A and B are shown apart, each in its own frame.
Chain A
Amino acid sequence: MEDEVVLLDFWPSSFAMRVKIALGEKGIKYKCKQEDLFNKSPLLLEMNPIHKKIPVLIHNGKPISESLIILQYIDQVWNHKSPLLPSCPYQRSQALFWADYIDKKIYGIGRRVWMGKEDQEEAKEELMQCLKTLERELGDKLYFGGQNIGVVDVALVPFTTWFYSYETCGNFSIEAGCPKLVAWAKRCKENYRSVSEALPHPLQIYEYVMELKKRLGLV
């Protein structure tokens, strides 16, 4: 019996993009269902009653929530190719540490940057500090995963499609502060179809951000 894989998605979400990259890397066929986060479907509310958030992966009717957990689930079930996590326990712990770091920092700080309220300057500084820390961690490696992309690359690269929005709303340049990180993002998109197909164009994200800001009364 063929697997039934459904992804509850919201196209601008960096968290959902992570899952799309992983599914693409593993060559998994899936149905993508767009959610309206201002009018959540009964399916979403049933599949993720605790947080009511996307992404949710539904595999043969069973839901898995939280993007990093979904990535690990995908990696464990479809382990025939493109491993996302290192096989060595110590390296795995380091990968999970950095994925957790990205989760704790980038979304929240980035949001404060594009919202453009009183704490924007502080948020810009914090964002650059985090990205510089990540750039240092990347070092001279091609990818955070080494020769190939791994869970840390997949966790971070979707946020790079939001960089243009952060920069434009905050009037600063991320590339000027983190050239190696921006080069890494380009490399991921050029060398991995799963990445280039999962990430919307930065201008599309910017258009969405401006609409959202209008909706929130911030412009």
Chain B
Amino acid sequence: MRFNALESMSFFTSNNTNVNRGSTRKSTNLPTMAVVKLFGTWLSPYVYRVIWALKLKGISYEYIEEDLSNKSPLLLQYNPIHKKIPVLLHDGKPICESTVILRYIDEIWPQNPLLPADPYDRAVALFWIKFADDKSPLLSKLYRTEGEEQQAVVKEWLEMLEAMEEHALIEGKKFFGGDEINMVDIAFCMVAYWLGLIEDFAGLKIFEPHKFPRVSAWIQNFKSVPVIKDNLPDTDKMFALMKHRREMLLTSKSN
């Protein structure tokens, strides 16, 4: 079922939720043990990271769309430090920062694990997740800049792609997680989807598949995963909105 927050601003937990507390039983008629809510915005890659994790684990949740130009009292209450989305609410307790949320989800609902159990493999996965997190401001920097400033951002993007190509992706592995996606694949989502959109409306060509064959193959594999494919923001709406935002930003900069 395609998730489109514009058409259904919130959807509610079904009566048959399967919010498992560490068990891997299939829940069909279990009572709702805990309510899971997600505060987000429909175009944020950080929000999608959480959505995919919840869906991969089969967890139902209520989604609340936030207007970042007019943040709700609830959001400010649940994330007083950063005042940002996503925020996950579980049993009334808030968890903030998408990577912290992903790790929490992985621990509470261990089915379809998103991190390796082996300590060394886990440390390597966490390293790449942090790498992706540290680079993620490059996404908004790309559409907020132009000229020389933008060229500097493009250079950083290329360095990131080179690191992924040479060091992170291993020949023959479909995903960072091996045969199945894991938290590292999810962390790099902006490369798989959001980068292409920004390239289109900003008139850039950063990612050349022949220069990054492993990353290119990974992008195709990642976007083919049903949970990912069926839960992406509407391309046309996002393109229009971000193009408009970029124009407004650059106009106000030059005034």
Q: Report whether over half of chain B's contact residues are helix, strand or loop; otherwise say mixed.
A: helix
| Bound-state Cα–Cα, A97 to B95, Å | 8
A38 beta carbon closer than 8 Å to chain B: no
Q: Knowing A50-B163, A66-B130, A72-B126 are in contact, say whether A96-B103 is a contact too (CB < 8 A).
A: yes
| Bound-state Cα–Cα, A177 to B249, Å | 38
Taking a contact as CB atoms under 8 Å apart, the answer to whether B131 and A133 are in contact is no
For the complex formed, measure the closest distance between the CB of A7 and the CB atoms of chain B, giving whole angstroms.
Answer: 15
For residue A99, which residue of chain B has the nearest CB? B100
- Which chain A residues (54-73) contact chain B, with CB distance < 8 Å? 59, 62, 64-66, 69-70, 72-73
For the complex formed, measure the closest distance between the CB of B39 and the CB atoms of chain A, giving whole angstroms.
Answer: 15
Interface size of B by CB at 8 A reads: 24
For residue A51, which residue of chain B has the nearest CB? B131
Q: Knowing A50-B167, A90-B93, A93-B103 are in contact, say whether A69-B81 is a contact too (CB < 8 A).
A: no
For residue B93, which residue of chain A has the nearest CB? A90
| Bound-state Cα–Cα, A163 to B122, Å | 34
For the complex formed, measure the closest distance between the CB of B33 and the CB atoms of chain A, giving whole angstroms.
Answer: 15
| Bound-state Cα–Cα, A76 to B108, Å | 18
Interface residues on A, range: 20 to 34
Taking a contact as CB atoms under 8 Å apart, the answer to whether B131 and A96 are in contact is no
Q: Knowing A66-B126, A69-B130, A97-B96 are in contact, say whether A89-B81 is a contact too (CB < 8 A).
A: no
- Which chain B residues (92-126) contact chain A, with CB distance < 8 Å? 93, 95-97, 99-101, 103-104, 107-108, 119-120, 122-124, 126
| Bound-state Cα–Cα, A62 to B123, Å | 11
Where the two chains meet, the residues of B that have a C-beta atom closer than 8 Å to any C-beta of A are 81, 90, 93, 95-97, 99-101, 103-104, 107-108, 119-120, 122-124, 126-127, 130-131, 163, 167
Q: Name the 5 nearest CB pairs between A and B, nearest first.
A: A93-B104, A89-B107, A73-B123, A76-B119, A64-B123
Q: List 18 A-B contacts (CB under 8 A).
A: A49-B167, A50-B163, A62-B120, A66-B130, A69-B126, A69-B127, A72-B126, A73-B122, A76-B122, A89-B107, A90-B104, A93-B95, A93-B101, A94-B95, A97-B96, A100-B97, A100-B99, A101-B81
